[in-house]
Amino acid sequence: MRIPLLSDILDVIHENSEKYGDSRMKYRFMLFDTPVPVWILTALYLAFVWAGPKYMKNRQAYSLRTFMVIYNIGLVFMSIYMFVEILLSTTAAGYQWMCSPYNEKTKNDPRELRVVNVLWWYGLSKAIELMDTVLMILRKKQSQVTFLHVFHHATMLNIWWWVPTFIPGGQTWFGACLNCAVHVVMYLYYGLAVIPQLRDKLWWKRYITTFQLVQFIITFTHTVQTFYIDCDFPMWGIYLLSYYMVIMLILFGNFYIQSYIKTRKSRDVHPKKESAKNGFTETSLNDTNGNQNHISNGHSNGVTKRHYYS
């Protein structure tokens, strides 16, 4: 049964995939030469974000401590593998830091297949990371399921259908590699924070947010400079990443200002107050997938501050 508008969109995507898509990525798991599986997964994810809290409303929160250790440490090793493999494969393929072309010549270079493979793994990791939100909801940490959190997970999953399908190489490597480095630090902290004996020893937790911000700024700068150099890379890919980095900088920058700068100023003005302006007690924030390790105090308006990650 054909749904007119949807069928027309899928026909256009399929036509362009056949014409411009990278044959080395065709029919790989989660790509399948069509975005439909990713769209279905996104719909299921958003449905769980909506229905999950309703299901958990009158139920006791799950602990999931053992699973969370395995999950987070597993993502640490996956991120380390991808980070190292991206660096090694791009170096072997002759990539340059500022400009790495992607064209018919590079698509036919056998050295590029190694880059293609690791970028496919990176795209697959965006599907695995949806589990972050599932853990939050099952542990009844609903305050952490913010618009920024859901938007970032859902959009990254979909962007990383388009990127490996059409441009699995060239300038694509830089942002993915940097994001893997951030995730090594981030998931290592979350994995260790599950263990009660280690929570107070994780002194570097406060630097995670700064690392994330630096990641966005560096990726945006690296992407924008491509406009001004003669680098043979599809321009639509540069626009896509540039606009997405702008959106992330706006959303994440607003989060950082509200969560850290305004809170610090409020604490300086009212150093002896233990509660927020509207009467809510300032509480420490649980980490991203529901650990009880606290990262920072609440907003001055009484909303519990949520540590966001990318």
| Rounded distance between C-alpha atoms, residue 227 and residue 282, angstroms | 45
The residue with tokens 């799950």 is 62
- The answer to whether 152 is a known catalytic residue is yes
| Rounded distance between C-alpha atoms, residue 50 and residue 47, angstroms | 5
Contact 83, 180 (CB under 8 A): yes
| Rounded distance between C-alpha atoms, residue 159 and residue 146, angstroms | 20
- Residue 19 Cα distances to 14, 107, 161, 210, angstroms: 9, 14, 16, 42
Query: 231-241 as b/e, with b when 16 or more CB fall inside 10 Å?
Result: bebbeebbebb
Could you give the 3-state DSSP secondary structure of residue 281? strand
Contact 167, 102 (CB under 8 A): yes
Contact 170, 101 (CB under 8 A): yes
Q: Which of 152, 183, 299, 307 is catalytic?
A: 152
- Residue 28 Cα distances to 34, 35, 86, 268, angstroms: 10, 12, 19, 54
Active site residues: 152
